Structure 1
């Protein structure tokens, strides 16, 4: 039985190979991520984006017969611009975690995706990565957790200057369906595309 305690919000950093047993303050930043907003003499700084309002909600991922409950979202995890949230189904056998991280600019997307994918071995014993139609550079890596206690599928993509990582955890041998992964990813990509300010 997967419990909310074992699938806490710190699991949202699994995609970048971060050690979730450490305090958030010890987590290194992803490439191209800036925790500060700079200003120039000719252009005032834009207002910071509230990424929590761009996260999906439980109703967005709940399917017939499999309802999810969301925990309160966290803004700017580890002082990085972005947000994260965890959803757990009512039976506590499945979980979906979403992490959004702001990048300095869209050009940083490929390097951020590459580093995130390289670090996945710390969270999942993966099969070969599969391309995804979601966002830019969409990639899905699926397998089991290193200790074999759960199935893990991770969808990585960028939308504009935001890196998104969506992790789907389930019982061993019961990975998230490909259609479900794509559907959730597309909804999150649309929320970012519509909600992010125009550069």
Structure 2
């Protein structure tokens, strides 16, 4: 065949190139669909593992081991000493310097404890100058009930309070029991006070 001659025309249908191009795509889709169940299974296992991990985390927060008061003796001692000293400060009062107790309360109390304390101390402040009243509070015993990871401590505090009137004791010391809740907010601050 020379350059000037034409090629004979082909008879029959022209080859379908698109069909050959689709076959690999179809086979790839079939292969991907075949791999779909392992991927779905792996995804389901991952989601199940996350759910179990979250459940176990919440469960462990309520377990006795999560209560640091039971497992961290050093920190327990520090918390008890710090909060006991603060409780003694806010419940010690003298008619000659009521501002000292007020300053201590402002430094130590937060949240609901502020309003509860103000109600309680309001009566004392009214009557103290007239009666020349002073109240000395000592913590005789304190125990840490709970110390959580989020910085909350709950204590049972036993107090002895001695009242004096014009410098003379009004009777024998009076015992009191408090449930004290405190939060570690750059130092322990008392957030709740309740009679035990």
Q: Give your verdict on TM over 0.5.
A: no
Larger relative contact order (C-alpha < 8 A, sep ≥ 6)?
1
> Greater helix share, 1 or 2?
2
- TM-score normalized with structure 2 length: 0.26
Query: Highest Rg: 1 or 2?
Result: 2
Q: TM-score, normalised by structure 1?
A: 0.26
